[in-house]
Each structure stands twice: as C-alpha cells, then as structure tokens.
Amino acid sequence: MRDAPIVETEAELPGTPSPRRALWWVVLPLLAFAAAIAVLIATNPMARFNSGAPPVEDIAFERVILAGDGISVLVRAGGSEPMTIAQVQVDDAYWQFTQDPPGPLARGSSAWIHVPFPWVLGEAHAVNLVTSTGATFAHEIPVAVATPVPDSSSLLTQAILGIFVGIVPVAVGLMFYPALRGVGRSGMSFLLALTVGLLAFLMVDALSEALELAGESAAIFQGQVMVVLAATASFLILMGIGRRNGAPKGLALATYIAIGIGLHNFGEGLAIGAAFAAGAAGLGTFLVIGFALHNVTEGIGIAAPILRQRVTLWTFVWLTLLAGGPAVLGLWIGSLAFAPQWSALALAIGAGAILQVIVEVTALLRRRDGVDVGGLFSPAAMTGLAAGAGLMYLTAMLVKV
C-alpha cells in the first residue's frame, strides 16, 4: 500500500517566523537605515570634500503671461540646495520684480516672478534670472502677444473648437459604419490593418511630442525617464485590464481604441490650449479643417472591430464622446494650467494606451474567426497598414506649423 504524500503547509516550513516576528523583521531594517542616515547627517563626512564651489542650481520656465502690467513667469527650482533669485533682466536691462511666494526656492518648488516691463506687441524679449550665486537662466519670448484672460466666453470658444477638432471628425468617421459593413474578408483585413497603421502613427507622434515637452520641464522630473515609465505603466495596466476576460474583440476592442485615441486627443488639446494661453494660437480656418481631416480616420479605426455586430445609436454616441470629448477637456486645462511635464505625462499615458490597442488589433487580425490566417502578412493587410500610416502622415502635414 503506497503511503500518502506528505504536504507541508507554509506554517510548517522550518525557520518560518510567526506573523509578529515577521513584522519585526520588516521594522528592524528600516530602523537600521534610519540610524545610518542620522549618523551621516551628524558626522557630515561630505564636508571635507567642500572646495568652496557654489551649489548646483537649475531653474525651469513653465509658463509666461504677458499682461498690461508687465511680464509674469512661473519658474520651478531643481537645484541641489535652496536658491534665491536676486535680480531679473529683461532685454539686458535690470528691472525691479516681485516674487510669489517670496524667499528662497527649495528643490522642486515653484514661484511666480512678476516684472513691470512695458513689452511691445509683436517684438521678441529675453528674460534672464540671476541667482544670489551669480548663475543665470534665460528664457526667450519669440513674439510678444497679450495672454488671453480666461472667461466664460473664451472657454465656450475653446469648447466649440474642441468639438470641431475632436468630436465632429470622429463622428464623421463612424458614419462610414454602414458602408463598411459590406466588405469581405480581404476588406476586413485591410480595415483592421488600416487601424494598426493609423494607431502606430499616433503612438509615434505622441511619444515624440512627449519627449520634446519633457525636455522643457524641470530636471527634477527626469522628463525622458518619466515618459518611458508612464507609457510602459499605461500599456501594462491596460493590457492586464483588457485581458482579464480573454483577448478583447468586437465592442470591447472598439472601446479600447476609443480610449487610446481619446488620451491622444487630450494631449493634443493640452497643446492647443497652452498655445491659446500664450497668445500664440494662430488657428485659422484652414488649420482647424486640417485637424478635422486628420482625425476623421480615427473614427473609421474605431468602427473596424464592430463591423460584424449590430450596435445601437447610443453606442456610437458613447464611442464618439470617449474618443473626441477629451480634446475639449484638454483645451480647457491647457489654457488654464499648462506645464510641460504634465502635458508630457498625458501624452505618454496616451502612447501606452495606443500600444495596447495596437497589440490587440494585431492579435485579432491574426486569429480572425478563430483561424490563424497570417492576416498581418496578407496583401490586403500590408496595404492597409501602409495606407493607415501614410494617410495620417499626409493629413498631419495640414496641422504641423
């Protein structure tokens, strides 16, 4: 007769501490680390390496406001020690200034610097901050234009613009749904690959803009690293959520596509809103039309996974608002509280979400109808992939200034 196998539980394993003792083994290393830091502070062994050199200082310019009473700039400190702004130059001349809040700027803190400088409409001006150690930090205003004052009228105008560049084109793209339902197998491969192509363009576009904005942010935020980490986290979290009940398809996949596109449109709205706040948004009718044409293809991409389903009108409304509505929200936030690091973060999260959708649409293309047809490498799919990326590139030429 064979003996029954012996199964050891976790509590029976030799050397396993009780829960109370395990807690002590969590607290003890933390206490040891705190004691080591206390000794380091008390003895200050770094003092012998002090050669009299000034501390490392860094200032990032996050926002500039031009008003009738002068120039105001929002700055953020990123140095190793608190720093004091001692003088302000505008166009090589020293000016009196006020700081809010006053006093030295600690690492990571921000303050508004106001200079009663009579700036000239349409001309360039250079603002130079001089710290108490003599370090200088410059910021150029290429074209001086009064910063619009946010009010109900301007917010309404921005909402209308957001509707035209975000909601309307996505709705128009989804209106192709009845016409696209009649496509055959090759047509479906083309449309799904078209979706992958346009999403790939959006992902690259979002990452490039995020990295550019990250370079303008304070060094303390480690902009480029922040972008990579945020995009990776966004991708992994959405992949985990999307795959909890198996690979998404149909309406679920269309919803994820709308979320990814919506996050990208939110980042675009932030950039447009910031341009409004800086008084540099020369968005003429042609440019608005260009944005609309650029985003129409997004609606077609959202419709592709649900062409074999019957969906209600309210579903189309929901998908339209999910993909296009964030453009309005981005315009408002960008015009009221723009900072390069937060815009970079939003675009990075959008890029990660788009990558998740690319993975899922590609997987659907390969195993459509439960059969691995090598769909991504068929002529129809290759054509759709190139057409999606190419169409987005060509329409982006209308909006890049």
67-76, 125-134, 287-296: range with lowest mean pLDDT: 287-296
What six digits make up the tokens of 330? 């981005």
pLDDT tens digits, residue range 246-279?
Answer: 777 778 888 888 888 888 788 777 777 776 665 5
Query: What is the distance between the alpha carbons of residues 247 and 383, in angstroms, rounded to a whole number?
Result: 25
Q: Is the pLDDT of residue 299 over 50?
A: yes
Residue 130's pLDDT band (cuts 50, 70, 90): very high
pLDDT tens digits, residue range 21-36?
Answer: 777 777 888 888 888 8
Cβ(110)–Cβ(77) under 8 Å?
yes
DSSP letters, 365-392, are: HHSGGGS---GGGSHHHHHHHHHHHHHH
Question: According to the model, what pLDDT value does residue 303 have?
Answer: 82
In this structure, how many other beta carbons lie within 10 angstroms of the beta carbon of residue 85?
A: 21
Crossing angle of the two packed helices 251-277 and 152-162, in degrees rounded to 10:
140
Cβ(301)–Cβ(194) under 8 Å?
yes
- Rg of the chain taking only CA atoms, in angstroms: 27
Query: What is the distance between the alpha carbons of residues 337 and 399, in angstroms, rounded to a whole number?
Result: 23
Query: What is the distance between the alpha carbons of residues 163 and 146, in angstroms, rounded to a whole number?
Result: 25
Highest-scoring range by mean pLDDT, 112-126, 194-208, 354-368:
112-126
What's the predicted TM-score (pTM) here? 0.71
Q: Which residues pair with 244 in a beta bridge?
A: 246
Question: According to the model, what pLDDT value does residue 97 have?
Answer: 92
Q: Is the pLDDT of residue 172 over 50?
A: yes
pLDDT tens digits, residue range 56-80?
Answer: 788 888 888 888 889 999 999 887 7
Mean pLDDT across the chain? 79
Residue 373's pLDDT band (cuts 50, 70, 90): very low
Q: Is the pLDDT of residue 128 over 90?
A: yes
Q: Is the pLDDT of residue 367 over 70?
A: no
Question: According to the model, what pLDDT value does residue 371 have?
Answer: 43
Bin 275: left if φ > 0, else alpha if -120 < ψ < 50, else beta. alpha
Q: Is the pLDDT of residue 386 over 70?
A: yes
Query: What is the distance between the alpha carbons of residues 350 and 256, in angstroms, rounded to a whole number?
Result: 11
Q: What's the rounded mean pLDDT across residues 149-163?
A: 79
Question: According to the model, what pLDDT value does residue 341 have?
Answer: 82
